[in-house]
Chain A
Amino acid sequence: MGSGTGIGRVRGLGSAKSGTHHWINQRVTAVGNLLLVLWLIISILQLPALDYVAVTTWLAKSWVAVPMMLMIVSVFYHLRLGLQVVVEDYVHEDGTKFATFLLLNFYAIGGAALGIFAIAKIAFTGAAS
């Protein structure tokens, strides 16, 4: 790679080849969030009560547990992609950026796993008795 002319510096580098994929997935998960979060908000507003028994009985239903799990995946995937862009815009030092991405991945995957496990536990061990 030359260090002289502009063309010499960019020749052969091209794009990172994953930008379009990131962009599309940000949109796909945005549509997922749109449908699933609106579903959650409308459902919660329609629940007769939000106490322990009402909430766990509701969450244990398969047609609630499944969309809820899908919502967790969609939200955490979307925020993982979104926060990556924010980090790229403000964190420029390579080491710090690497560490921040590490934390971001732990947060996104760990948070999603915790949420899905909680839903599965309620669904499989039965609602409040």
Chain B
Amino acid sequence: MARPQTRPLSPHLTIWKWGPHMALSILHRATGVGLAVVGALGLVWWLTAAASGAEYYAFFLKQATSWYGYVVMIGITWAFFQHMFSGLRHFVLDIGAGYELKTNKSWSLVVPVLSIFTTAAIWLSIFSGKL
């Protein structure tokens, strides 16, 4: 199908001034893809390891509790809460609320604070032995 070359395009990335809502939008995508690949594979690996017997599960635990295991798990925790709080923001926008410039900007700034705070709270309490 021949398309005329002069179809109007919407202004793209290069033309907008960066704002927190844009960073949040691309983070929602990045964390979604991260969870979908690393998170989902990790989850299935954990379950199949538990179904494979004590010996293999011990091997899994050794990987999970190595330094790179912790890096991945902390990363996944942050990605989940970032995506979750950002997803809740999506629900608000979906009902047509929160589009006023100031409101939109404040919530965009609150989401990363909440995700970092929750991730830190969980892992600090794990490492300090409170859990």
Contacts and interface: CB of A to CB of B under 8 A. Distances in A.
A, B: real partners: yes
A117 B127 CA distance: 32
Contacts, number: 76
B33 A114 contact: no
Interface of B: 1-2, 29, 32-33, 35-36, 40-41, 43-44, 47-48, 50-51, 54, 57-58, 61, 80, 84, 87-88, 90-91, 94, 122, 126, 131
Chain A interface size range: 20 to 34
A27 B48 contact: no
Contacts of B43: 72, 75, 115
Contacts of B2: 3
A70 interface: no
B36 to A, nearest CB: 4
Main secondary structure of the interface of A (DSSP, over half): helix
B58 A52 contact: yes
A114 B36 contact: no
Contacts of A86: 29, 32-33
B47 A119 contact: yes
A27 B57 CA distance: 34
Nearest to B58: A52
Interface in A54-79: 55-56, 59, 68, 72, 75-76, 79
Given A34-B84, A37-B80, A111-B44, A122 B33 contact: no
Contacts of B88: 34
